[in-house]
């Protein structure tokens, strides 16, 4: 059976190279009994490909049994697959024939195989390797002759790494992998599939056939179709049933698209979905904004260093060894000087983060009674003015001002001054002793 015949017989619509590759691979494996794993997002048509493989295989005269392993409770999955003896569990009032026993001579299609519990995976591996199984509640081995097709919308390789799927079972299932690409990666197939749905549904509901104008075509091709072919059919059905008139415009289609409002323009359809799954150009623009912000931050830090150097020079101290982290202090509070040698150890949890009380609302004074900001370096001995505040006085003043600014929060104060909480704690004790 050639490719075109396969498409016509099984209703596989599309002219893209991606869908042609899927059909050709299905034709190749159908003649054998090899295990096939069909991968793809939800709604791409994995079950349709499984049907095609079974119908083109030598087992086409045998049964095709389909089970969604993700829809069955964990406690019942083994009895569904392998059967159960009467009384094997609560509610087992009679003997139950399992899926593998019932499909003898045919094909079993395990949909959403990634959801199968680990306990059931062990028995499934045994069936794949030897065809042997036992019913729940029985120790008797039984044999079955089935071909297994499986499907998943998960990356089973990652599931194996996370410990949620058995590695040996993964290798046994993935002898041949057929990956069905999502609809957004084969935009050439969107319009033919949609128009086929319009025609079929118009016949089903007895309505006039709908015709898409250029704006509607553009919108359908731009939309990312997170639900793939299943969502495409849903939109087509709503258009056939709810839209009045034969011509279908973008305005008529837009209300049926997930996440796109009626007030949006055709261009917004793609943008609305891009927020959830950004394309490469979007990621590039985001990186560019981050780099720009980092550059501006670096310039601000350089300016801050210069201001700190000027201030420390005015106090007769060496330039500060460290500067504040970005955002620690607003620009108007950059008059703090970092004094003291920071400890090399991290004592972040050494003291409790409690409020340190500062009495009075006036600006703190040094021990000689003069404001720190009024002090200025002099080239010679002063005559009528008090001397320049000592380093100890300046340190006391800065610590006091910082504590007032941060409302007594020691942790934030220590971080702003560039010292550890242990050093701040020691200096506060010295401050209390002096007072």
**19/4 Cα distance (integer angstroms):** 12
Residue 360: pLDDT band by 50, 70, 90 thresholds?
Answer: very low
Top-confidence residue, 270 or 157: 157
Same domain, 26 and 164: yes
Average pLDDT over residues 58-87: 89
Q: At residue 242, does pLDDT exceed 70?
A: yes
DSSP strand pairing (132-133 vs 142-143):
antiparallel
Output the six-digit token pair for 188: 């050439």
Q: Which of 104-108, 124-128, 199-203, 343-347 has the lowest mean pLDDT?
A: 343-347
Same domain, 331 and 369: yes
Same domain, 303 and 218: no
Most confident listed range (145-159, 253-267, 311-325, 392-406) = 145-159
Output the six-digit token pair for 2: 């050639």
Same domain, 298 and 411: yes
Same domain, 304 and 375: yes
Tell me if 152 is assigned to some domain: yes
Q: Tell me the residue range of the domain where 193 lies.
A: 185-274
Average pLDDT over residues 215-244: 94
Spatial contact of 83 and 140, defined as CB atoms under 8 Å apart: no
- As beta bridge partners, residue 107 has 64, 147
- pLDDT value for 225: 95
Same domain, 177 and 189: no
Tell me if 284 is assigned to some domain: no
Same domain, 55 and 77: yes
Task: Provide Rg for the chain, Cα atoms.
Answer: 37
Tell me if 282 is assigned to some domain: no
- pLDDT value for 52: 97
The 10s digit of each residue's pLDDT in 298-350 is 656 666 666 666 666 655 444 444 444 444 445 544 444 444 444 444 444 44
Same domain, 137 and 239: no
Same domain, 52 and 121: yes
Tell me if 48 is assigned to some domain: yes
**103/66 Cα distance (integer angstroms):** 10
**65/107 Cα distance (integer angstroms):** 6
Tell me if 153 is assigned to some domain: yes
Q: φ and ψ at 358, to 5 degrees?
A: -120, 120
Structural domain count of the chain: 3
Tell me if 204 is assigned to some domain: yes
Average pLDDT over residues 65-73: 90
Tell me if 198 is assigned to some domain: yes
């Amino acid at each position: 059976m050639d490719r075109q015949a396969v498409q016509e017989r099984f209703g596989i619509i599309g002219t893209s190279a991606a869908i042609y590759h899927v059909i050709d691979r299905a034709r190749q494996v159908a003649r054998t009994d090899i295990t096939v794993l069909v991968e793809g997002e939800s709604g791409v048509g994995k079950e349709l490909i499984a049907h095609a493989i079974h119908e083109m295989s030598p087992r086409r005269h045998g049964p095709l049994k389909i089970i969604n392993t993700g829809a069955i409770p964990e406690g019942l999955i083994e009895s569904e697959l392998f059967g159960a003896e009467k009384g094997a569990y609560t509610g087992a009032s009679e003997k139950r024939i399992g899926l593998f026993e019932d499909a003898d001579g045919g094909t079993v299609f395990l949909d959403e195989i990634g959801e199968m519990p680990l306990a059931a995976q062990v028995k499934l591996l045994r069936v794949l390797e030897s065809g042997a199984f036992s019913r729940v509640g029985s120790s008797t081995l039984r044999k079955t002759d089935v071909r297994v097709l499986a499907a998943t919308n998960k990356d089973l390789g990652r599931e194996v790494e996370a410990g949620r799927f058995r590695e040996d079972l993964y290798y046994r299932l993935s002898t041949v992998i057929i990956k069905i690409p999502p609809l957004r990666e084969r935009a050439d197939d969107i319009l033919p599939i949609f128009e086929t749905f319009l025609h079929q549904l118009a016949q089903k509901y007895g309505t006039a056939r709908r015709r898409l104008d250029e704006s509607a075509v553009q919108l359908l091709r731009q939309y990312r179709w997170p639900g793939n072919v299943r969502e495409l059919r849903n939109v087509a059905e709503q258009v056939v049933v709810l839209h009045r008139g034969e011509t279908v415009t973008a305005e008529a289609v837009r209300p049926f698209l997930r996440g796109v409002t009626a007030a949006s323009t055709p261009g917004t359809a793609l943008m609305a979905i891009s927020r959830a799954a950004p394309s490469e150009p979007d990621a590039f623009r985001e990186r560019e904004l981050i780099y720009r912000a980092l550059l501006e931050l670096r310039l601000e830090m350089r300016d801050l260093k210069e201001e700190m150097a000027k201030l420390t020079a005015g106090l007769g101290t060496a330039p500060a060894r460290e500067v504040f982290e970005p955002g620690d202090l607003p620009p108007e509070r950059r008059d703090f000087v970092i004094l003291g040698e920071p400890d090399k150890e991290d004592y972040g949890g050494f003291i409790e983060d409690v409020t340190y009380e500062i009495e009075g609302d006036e600006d703190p004074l040094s021990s000689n009674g003069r404001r720190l900001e009024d002090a200025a370096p002099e080239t010679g001995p002063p005559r009528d003015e008090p001397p320049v505040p000592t380093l100890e006085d300046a340190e006391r003043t800065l610590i006091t001002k910082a504590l007032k600014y941060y409302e007594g929060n020691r942790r934030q104060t220590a971080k702003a001054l560039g010292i550890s909480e242990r050093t701040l704690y020691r200096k506060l004790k010295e401050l209390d002793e002096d007072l």
